[in-house]
A = this chain, B = another copy of it.
Amino acid sequence: MTKSPAGSLTVVGLGPGHPEQVTPEAAAAVAAAGDFFGYFPYLDRLSLRADQRRHASDNREELARAKAALDMAATGGKVCIVSGGDPGVFAMAAAVCEAIEEGPPSWRDVDLSVVPGVTAMLAVAAKAGAPLGHDFCAISLSTNLKPWSIIEKRITAAAEAGFVMSFYNPVSRARPHQLGEAFDLLRRYLPGSVPVIFGRAAGRPDECIRIVSLAEAASDMADMATCIIVGSTDTRLIERAGKKTLVYSPRSYKGGSA
């Protein structure tokens, strides 16, 4: 029996949601593939041809989705997995690598490529000014994949060392309280005046960018599609008459005291 020729798997980042933020590279990868796997709202963004097939799945099914896509690619399919934002940031590229490491040897023969995209924190930061203009970190608040104690340790370390922070997956129906706990923890290390940005659907028609102080920040200001940016003690506001307030983190270290 001859071995089937391995196909290809491309993991594509569709950006924050606006079609104008999809790179030509991502659009070309979508045009070249035959089968599409992904969380259904991301698949809904694609305008597929009649000869292209959708395989939608729910979120929290990333590993099963990665395995199904690799299985099809290993037998010659031209397969695409789509992620919102960038596929390498808390998204499908890592799930595909995990599946390859654990899976049959034939999955290592698949021609794998990852097409980067504009990740949510960059889109939210652009709408607010330049809050990520100084050293920053990105933390997923989901406890599906790590213990809350580790998240607390990282938030504390980031606050003490002066990083601006972006929170992905801030809340879900199963974990409504943790974001509030994160803000309570931050208030122990940072002054209440530190700006907090809640960004949802940046660049889309239903965009909502809200800027509050850490003292005011509350978990009901976010849903699972919100990306949150917490400033450092150096992060500043610029008020402008008749225009949106700008939030930025100076490139220079100022040593704002915590």
A interface list, Cβ under 8 A from B: 13, 15-16, 18-25, 28, 62, 86-91, 93-98, 100-101, 108-109, 112-119, 122-123, 125-127, 129-140, 145-147, 150, 153-154, 156-158, 160-163, 203, 236, 238, 240-241, 243, 246, 248-253
* A132-B89 CB under 8 A given contacts A20-B24, A21-B116: yes
Nearest CB in chain B: distance from A83 CB, A: 11
On whether A133 and B23 interact (CB within 8 A), knowing A154-B163, A236-B101, A253-B145, the answer reads no
Query: Which B residues are in CB contact (< 8 Å) with A94?
Result: 130, 133-134, 248-251
Q: Is the CB of A88 within 8 A of B137?
A: no
Residues A153 and B146 in contact, CB atoms below 8 Å apart: no
A158 to B235 alpha-carbon distance, docked (Å):
20
Q: Is the CB of A116 within 8 A of B118?
A: yes
Starting from the known contacts A20-B23, A87-B126, 12 additional A-B residue pairs (CB-CB under 8 Å) come to A20-B25, A21-B23, A21-B116, A88-B122, A88-B125, A89-B133, A93-B129, A94-B250, A101-B248, A115-B126, A135-B140, A137-B163
Pick the residue among B114, B157, B251 that contacts A160 (CB under 8 A): B157
Q: Could you list 22 A-B pairs, sorted by A, with CB under 8 Å? A: A13-B122, A20-B23, A23-B23, A86-B118, A88-B125, A89-B132, A89-B133, A94-B130, A94-B133, A96-B130, A97-B246, A98-B248, A100-B238, A109-B241, A114-B126, A115-B126, A116-B125, A118-B118, A134-B140, A150-B162, A150-B253, A154-B161
Cβ–Cβ contact B116 & A123, under 8 A = yes
Cβ–Cβ < 8 Å partners of A24 in chain B:
19-22, 24
Tell me the minimal C-beta distance from A173 to chain B in angstroms.
20
Q: Taking CB as reference atom, which chain B residue is nearest A133?
A: B94
Known: A135-B138, A138-B136, A162-B154. A126 touches B248 (CB 8 A): no
User: Would A251 and B157 be within 8 Å (CB), given that A108-B240, A137-B163 are in contact?
Assistant: no
Q: List residues of chain B with CB within 8 A of the CB of A101.
A: 236, 238, 248
